[in-house]
Amino acid sequence: MEEHSSLQRFDQSPFGFRPNSKILASLYPHASSPNRAKQPHFPVARQVRLFANEATYVSVLSSCASLNGWGGLYMGKQVHGHILRNEIQLTVFVGTALIDLYGKSGLLKAAANVFDQMVVKEVCSWNAMISALSSNGQEKEALDLFEKMKMEGLLPNEVTFVAVLTACSRGKFVKCGLELFKSMSIDYGVVPVMEHYGCVADLLGRAGLLREAVSFIKSMPLEPDASVLGTLLGACKIHGITELGNELGQKLLDLQPQHSGRYVVLSNINAAVQRWDHAAELRKMMLNAGLEKTPAYSMVT
């Protein structure tokens, strides 16, 4: 009853709509529910009509992109439809937000259509399209687009290099990835941050080059954080590297004692080589800490 009342007040509110992911998620905790999404008075398009400006479109679309399930995509399509029907200019930021939405939703053709329709494209627009290609199995195309972006005279930034290094990692383009990592500081003056180092660690780990990955991490000028170590731990699980996995796992448990996933991965690494006592001990430690394995979920469309 309370949830219905809150939704009703939101639907009827004539005041400024300043959406973000937290607002949408709290007001629509079941945004992926078909019943809610198919209601005739689903409010997003109406609210955007009342307070339409570039910031509103970008905020709503970004919020939609951050929602799990197809409810966010449904809302984002409503906003896109409103933009098309009213012949609203596809600005750099609105277009980029649409590319991000469709890319994260797996609708690569829709993302590409928006990208092609944009009269003006800035670096952020190219970054979004490169990321969309990379995250949808088109790693080579992502790198080709990066080259085209440079030919257009645009300088890549930190975000660009995260996108292209991720593409190299997913495509297992080790040589290309290492060359790009070196080039970013030498040719473009982009100082690597933790996320870039994490991408290279993932690149080497996925390719089974665990020794090189460890050497790379040890050479970092930054202390590797849990995300970088976790990337390498995942590679140890994939390639069955037990000793290194246990060493990394212990460091991660020291850093994140309440992260159930670390216990599970480490337990699975040991179980894979029939170290049953060690695997059972890790599960016991997890339970004693009051942690539970995060359940997996799937989305039926």
227 falls in which pLDDT band (50, 70, 90)?
confident
Query: For 126-136, what is each residue's pLDDT tens digit?
Result: 999 999 999 99
291 falls in which pLDDT band (50, 70, 90)?
low
The residues, ordered by sequence, that sit 6+ positions from 244 with a Cβ below 8 Å of its Cβ are: 210, 214, 232, 236
Low-confidence winner among 69-83, 110-124, 189-203 (lowest mean pLDDT)? 69-83
Q: Which amino acid is at 281?
A: E
The pLDDT, as a whole number, for residue 280 is 73
Alpha carbons 243 and 249: distance in angstroms, whole number: 10
4 falls in which pLDDT band (50, 70, 90)?
very low
The pLDDT, as a whole number, for residue 191 is 96
Say yes or no to pLDDT of 153 above 90.
Answer: yes
Low-confidence winner among 26-35, 184-193, 240-249, 291-300 (lowest mean pLDDT)? 26-35
The pLDDT, as a whole number, for residue 8 is 42
CA distances from 83 to 43, 45, 101 (A): 15, 10, 15
The pLDDT, as a whole number, for residue 273 is 60
Mean pLDDT in residue range 283-292: 67
The pLDDT, as a whole number, for residue 230 is 84
The pLDDT, as a whole number, for residue 55 is 86
105 falls in which pLDDT band (50, 70, 90)?
very high
Alpha carbons 115 and 129: distance in angstroms, whole number: 7
The pLDDT, as a whole number, for residue 6 is 38
Q: For residues 154 and 293, which has the higher predicted lDDT (pLDDT)? A: 154
Which pTM does this prediction carry?
0.74
Say yes or no to pLDDT of 289 above 70.
Answer: no
Alpha carbons 130 and 165: distance in angstroms, whole number: 11
The pLDDT, as a whole number, for residue 88 is 86
Arithmetic mean of pLDDT over the chain? 79
Q: Which amino acid is at 91?
A: T
